[in-house]
Amino acid sequence: MTQLPQSTDRKMGLVIDLDTCVGCHACVISCKGWNTENYGAPLSDQDAYGSDPSGTFLNRVHSFEVQPTPCQSNPAPEAQLIHFPKSCLHCEDAPCVTVCPTGASYKRVEDGIVLVNESDCIGCGLCAWSCPYGARELDQAEGVMKKCTLCVDRIYNENLEEVDRVPTCVRTCPAGARHFGDLGDPNSDVSQLVAERGGMDLMPEMGTKPVNKYLPPRPKDTIEEQIDILAPLLAPIAEEPQGFLGWLDKALDKLPGGNA
Amino acid sequence: MHPAPSVIVFTTLSGLGFGLLLFLGLGMPDVTGWVAFVFFAIAYALAVGGLLASTFHLGHPERALKAFTQWRSSWLSREGWCAVIALLVMAPYGAGLVFMGESYSILGLIGALFSLLTVFTTSMIYTQLKTIPRWNMKLTPAMFLSFSLAGGALLSGQIKAAMVLLAVAAVVQVVYWKQGDQALAASGTDMGTATGLGSIGEVRAFEPPHTGTNYLLREFVHVVGRKHAAKLRIIAFTLAFVVPLLLLYLSPHHLGALIAVLSHLVGIAVSRWLFFAQAEHVVGLYYGKR
Ligand code: SF4
Ligand code: SF4
């Protein structure tokens, strides 16, 4: 049923720390690895070893440069480089669910996870059109819509060790930039982290009410003046060469072949 | 948006076909027998041909019947219903005219209503998408409906109605283009809101997540054809509206009307190509593109 539930019991989702992410793409690879061999159709690649490779991924890491606006306290701020992982945000008001003509796309009442029932999907692509975040990709080999499942086949999987019952991207991240939990419970670790760090929504104006939150990068340290006691000894002595070297320099300049 | 030929053919042909069915349903022209047969054959060929073309871009066309299940929430599903109802109701109405010389006008009216609703629901599939500001405007359904009505009047040989409706459609087209050009800026969505980093300062795409292309770029970020947009607009406008209007005015006879119809068809197809090619999906912002 592609009508959205009135409310969900829990709002499971991710909190992504843009201050901590180092842009290593480990989450991208572990996501592809887990999801290509578990829930649903594999994530195919086309021309993987050729000149025009492309493939289906459920999580991708962009990098942005932000030039902070100068202000009184910092009139010449340094640019910041921010790595930006992006996957389905499991929106509360998910347009991808309501546009689906077949009922293949749905949002679960028990935990708020947005999933695609691949055997019902006709591959019309409309849900991907409706997602502002580019979180859905139509698999070229299978002709069905693929998206992040929040590793629904890990988080409740009693065959796994307890530490592994989190989305594989969270488990893999070497920087600890990804957190998983119930964002509907104000006392959960993730909710407190969001409150403490001013977690934000992407494109709030789209009205999708994303469950996943992003923690903004902290302001950069200012670069201090270098203190180097040896510096005076190493300062260049003569800008213009003099004496024999000066003569040589000029003589070489005069030779054909131009000066460097 | 990637201007997929299947979708352009579908919306152009079925828009015209359902426009013609609408006029036939209202008894314009008032024909029976062989003449009615030809009119209905053209209308069904356009409408059904368009619908078939629309299944070409599906990943699993064999499951298309499932698309009828979600009419409560999905415009695509509603479109399917309206189209099937219109075609099913028009069949006995057409058969009455062709074989018995009878006009079951109540069937015709219902068929006309559902033909109109089909075009409306098609337009709502695009209009509902907040992700594409150029489509997310009230003028989108106005454009689809006015094009379909003008085309229907033209095809059904209603010269006077066609001239008025073509003029209306032409105005809607120009206003649509004008408002559409400002839609992305007016939506308030930019790289700053997309990344949430806009509060810090100016955001620039530094490195994309992948070195090759992907589904998102192929489907949503189409910038190649846009450089000729201004020229194509003039071509579309001239062929879709100016030429047919002139022909109807100067020589509203068979050959003139035929050329008017063909010119209109090509013009609408070009306009529809622009409708897709010029539509910016906000996901492009994550790539620093639009
Ligand atoms: S991020 Fe996109 S795919 Fe995921 S729930 Fe929101 S709209 Fe749907
Ligand atoms: S691609 Fe599949 S999941 Fe998406 S809207 Fe179409 S049928 Fe539904």
Distance CA B110, CA B112 (A): 5
- What is the pLDDT, as a whole number, of residue B228? 84
- What is the pLDDT, as a whole number, of residue A242? 75
> Under CATH, which number does the domain A12-219 receive?
3.30.70.20
Distance CA B146, CA B162 (A): 11
Tokens encoding B1: 């948006």
The atom of ligand 1 lying closest to the CA of A90 is: 5
If you measure from the C-alpha of residue B178 to the centroid of ligand 2, how many angstroms do you get, rounded to a whole number?
32
What phi and psi, each to the nearest 5 degrees, are found at residue B231?
Answer: -65, -45
Distance CA A90, CA A60 (A): 16
Render pLDDT for A136-180 as a digit per residue (tens, 0 to 9). Answer: 999 999 999 999 999 999 999 999 999 999 999 999 999 999 999
pLDDT at residue A203 above 70?
A: yes
| B197: nearest CB among A53, A64, A86 | A64
- What is the pLDDT, as a whole number, of residue B4? 87
- What is the pLDDT, as a whole number, of residue A16? 98
The atom of ligand 2 lying closest to the CA of A123 is: 1
Choice among A71-80, A229-238, B19-28 with the minimum mean pLDDT: A229-238
Chain A environment of B130 (Cβ under 8 Å)? 95, 130, 132, 206-207
Where do the domains of chain B lie? 1-128, 158-290
Tokens encoding B261: 């119809």
Distance CA B187, CA A204 (A): 12
- What is the pLDDT, as a whole number, of residue B225? 65
The atom of ligand 1 lying closest to the CA of A114 is: 5
- What is the pLDDT, as a whole number, of residue B142? 98
Closest residue in chain B to residue A65, using alpha carbons only: B204
The reply to whether residue B204 touches residue A205, judged by beta carbons under 8 angstroms, is no
Residues lining ligand 1, Cβ inside 6 A: A 88-91, 94-96, 114, 131, 133, 135-136, 147, 208
- What is the pLDDT, as a whole number, of residue A228? 72
If you measure from the C-alpha of residue B29 to the centroid of ligand 2, how many angstroms do you get, rounded to a whole number?
40
Handedness of CA B215, B221, B226, B229 (dihedral sign): positive
Q: Which amino acid is at B18?
A: F
Distance CA B149, CA B264 (A): 12
Distance CA A191, CA B278 (A): 40
Neighbouring residues of A32: CB distance < 8 A, sequence distance ≥ 6: A43, A55, A57, A58
SS (H, E, C) chain B: CCCCHHHHHHHHHHHHHHHHHHHHHCCCCCCCHHHHHHHHHHHHHHHHHHHHHHHCCCCCHHHHHHHHCCCCCCHHHHHHHHHHHHHHHHHHHHHHHHHHCCCCHHHHHHHHHHHHHHHHHHHHHHHCCCCCCCCCCCHHHHHHHHHHHHHHHHHCCCHHHHHHHHHHHHHHHHHHHHHHHHHHHHHCCCHHHHHCCCCCEEEEEEECCCCCCCHHHHHHCCCHHHHHHHHHHHHHHHHHHHHHHHHHHHCCCHHHHHHHHHHHHHHHHHHHHHHHHCCCCHHHHHHCCC
- What number of C-beta contacts closer than 8 Å exist between A and B? 200
Contact A48, B181 (CB under 8 A): no
- What is the pLDDT, as a whole number, of residue A245? 78
Contact A100, A2 (CB under 8 A): yes
Gap from B57 CA to chain A (nearest CA, Å): 7
Render pLDDT for A48-97 as a digit per residue (tens, 0 to 9). Answer: 999 999 999 999 999 999 999 888 888 888 899 999 999 999 999 999 99
Comparing CA positions, the residue from A77, A126, A51 lying closest to residue B58 is A126
Average pLDDT over residues A198-213: 97
The reply to whether residue B73 touches residue A98, judged by beta carbons under 8 angstroms, is yes
When the pLDDT of each residue in chain B is averaged and rounded to a whole number, the result is 93
- What is the pLDDT, as a whole number, of residue B196? 96
Render pLDDT for A18-27 as a digit per residue (tens, 0 to 9). Answer: 999 999 999 9
Choose between A231 and B259: higher pLDDT.
B259
Comparing CA positions, the residue from B42, B40, B39, B125 lying closest to residue B82 is B125
SS (H, E, C) chain A: CCCCCCCCCCCEEEEEECCCCCCCCHHHHHHHHHHHCCCCCCCCEECCCCCCCEECCCEEEEEEEEEECCCCCCCCCCCEEEEEEEECCCCCCCHHHHHCCCCCEEECCCCCCEEECCCCCCCCCHHHHHCCCCCEEECCCCCCEEECCCCHHHHCCCCCCHHHCCCHHHHHCCCCCEEEEECCCCCCHHHHHHHHHCCECCCHHHCCCCCCEEECCCCCCCCCCCCCCCHHHHCCCCCCCCHHHHHHHHHHHHCCCCCC
Distance, CA of A41 to chain centre: 23
Q: Where in chain A is the domain with CATH 3.30.70.20?
A: 12-219
Distance CA B49, CA B47 (A): 6
Comparing CA positions, the residue from B57, B123, B152, B85 lying closest to residue B275 is B123
Distance CA B29, CA B31 (A): 6
- What is the pLDDT, as a whole number, of residue A118? 96
If you measure from the C-alpha of residue A162 to the centroid of ligand 2, how many angstroms do you get, rounded to a whole number?
34
Residue labelled with tokens 């969505």: B189
The reply to whether residue A95 touches residue B197, judged by beta carbons under 8 angstroms, is no
Render pLDDT for B24-74 as a digit per residue (tens, 0 to 9). Answer: 999 989 888 999 999 999 999 999 988 888 888 899 999 999 999 999 999
Distance CA B283, CA B233 (A): 25
Q: Find which of A21, A102, A116 to mutate to test the B interface (most B CBs within 10 Å of its CB).
A: A102
- Other C-beta atoms closer than 10 Å to the C-beta of B205 total 17
If you measure from the C-alpha of residue A131 to the centroid of ligand 1, how many angstroms do you get, rounded to a whole number?
5
Comparing CA positions, the residue from A84, A112, A90 lying closest to residue A22 is A84
CA dist B88 to B41, B48, B108, Å? 14, 12, 11
pLDDT band per the 50, 70, 90 thresholds, residue A1: low
Chain A environment of B206 (Cβ under 8 Å)? 63-65, 81
pLDDT at residue A200 above 90?
A: yes
